[in-house]
Structure 1
């Protein structure tokens, strides 16, 4: 439970399953009203019903495709009309495709940047004026450990998450004087349907299965940090230590980690 969330409106992208769904359930359990954004209307409605039945909270499910950025302003206008304000935005939607740099299709390249970067920025742009005016709010961007330490077969995906981290770090400084918190979340691999697209052959999941994070644990960390000044959430700790080591000794980490990095 996070007592700070009582009566708050929390907008969550990618909320029809996985981490986004878990965050929505926990926010509702803490007394917040989740606004669920995703492409799949049927799954959104199902999650909203489950939260309504389990937590007796009125969820607001809205179909939104982040790759169609021209529709995002009207979506957020609808949210503001229905709720009167947005207290927290969780930019969770995103996907990846594992392929070597020379084999990534143009469609996959454009798709990952469209959703992971441009869609995230477009949603954030809609809430900035609202939060600045109220001098309160929290923007939480789900990045990745891949944004700190790029590995083979994730060149484009890592590039999108590097972009998210750069945007988040700049945004944090811009909004600090307005009472708006900005947090980057950098998880390692999680047990979601992410790998259905990223790793359809299953080799990566097979190789790193024992290191995969549970969405419950990641969601709990995120919800506990809501409406606090938490700068980053990095999970798991040992993987973040590797990312820090890479910052200090990139050549050494690349040499020592080469075999492990190619296990995708």
Structure 2
């Protein structure tokens, strides 16, 4: 379905780099109207210039920290007044810090939940009313395979992604009669700047780098499913198979995988 996104209003949070920026490029190539949010305004300005020059499409940018709920309300209200409605919201903003549970500071715990969970919920709440009125729209939440399989040193991060999946699954049922699609994206590790914060020692990246997904690949999978009734996108497939086995045989899976899980 070439140019299915032409003329559609698409908001992407965390759009200044990684899969957020790659999704923006792919959407722009289909002549979508882009609204890009991130904390780094200078990176957004560079991306806006690139997309407008290359694809001659409309790009609105705003600096936004999704953990700031007042800012979320203000920015979304301002943008909605300008564009009227949103066809697709991609909740991509998020971060993690890999530490043992007892080593994570209260500030780190709160920050991860504020961005990964509460911020995602707040952004979604801002676009749902008009989507419900129009009986149309798509909410795409970037979760993680960590939301299905918890591993050592990711207790807090995994907890946030479990929360995202719980919220996403409930929301999907809530809006099933409103013509709104709700999709969870569960990638494994992606080769982005995420790990500069999450894995400061570099141990995890060293151990899993041969399995890392490229951001262009993940972005392509997500954009190809925009405005389709897709429940989940799980990448890579073999890792998702592991989550299914974990659900069926959790004790055996954790025993067998213990050495692999302790590579962070």
Q: TM-score range by the shorter chain?
A: over 0.9
User: What is residue 187 of structure 1 aligned with on the other side?
Assistant: 187
User: What is residue 218 of structure 1 aligned with on the other side?
Assistant: 218
Preserved CA contact (<8 Å) 1:117 1:160: yes
Partner secondary structure for residue 16 of structure 1? coil
User: What is residue 5 of structure 2 aligned with on the other side?
Assistant: 5
CA separation of 1:51/1:196 partners in 2, compared to 1, >3 Å: closer, same or farther?
A: same
Preserved CA contact (<8 Å) 1:2 1:224: no
User: What is residue 144 of structure 1 aligned with on the other side?
Assistant: 144
User: What is residue 242 of structure 1 aligned with on the other side?
Assistant: 242
1:51-74 CA deviation, whole Å, 9 max, x = no partner?
Answer: 111111121011111111111111
Measured in 1, the distance between the counterparts of 2:205 and 2:71 equals: 35
Instruction: Write out aligned runs for 1:88-167 (5 A).
Output: 88-167=88-167
Preserved CA contact (<8 Å) 1:2 1:223: no
Preserved CA contact (<8 Å) 1:90 1:141: yes
User: What is residue 71 of structure 1 aligned with on the other side?
Assistant: 71
User: What is residue 175 of structure 1 aligned with on the other side?
Assistant: 175
Measured in 2, the distance between the counterparts of 1:201 and 1:154 equals: 14
Measured in 2, the distance between the counterparts of 1:193 and 1:50 equals: 20
1:129-152 CA deviation, whole Å, 9 max, x = no partner?
Answer: 010000000000000000000000
Equivalent pairs, count: 264
User: What is residue 44 of structure 1 aligned with on the other side?
Assistant: 44
Partner secondary structure for residue 257 of structure 2? helix
Gaps of 5+ in 2: none
TM-score (norm 2): 0.99
For structure 1, which segment, 87-96 or 29-38, has the greater mean C-alpha deviation from structure 2 after superposition? 29-38
Preserved CA contact (<8 Å) 2:37 2:61: yes
User: What is residue 31 of structure 2 aligned with on the other side?
Assistant: 31
Measured in 1, the distance between the counterparts of 2:154 and 2:96 equals: 8
Q: Does residue 1:15 correspond to 2:28, yes or no?
A: no
Preserved CA contact (<8 Å) 2:32 2:58: no
User: What is residue 262 of structure 1 aligned with on the other side?
Assistant: 262
Partner secondary structure for residue 61 of structure 1? strand
Measured in 2, the distance between the counterparts of 1:34 and 1:25 equals: 10
Q: RMSD over aligned Cα, in angstroms?
A: 0.8
TM-score (norm 1): 0.99
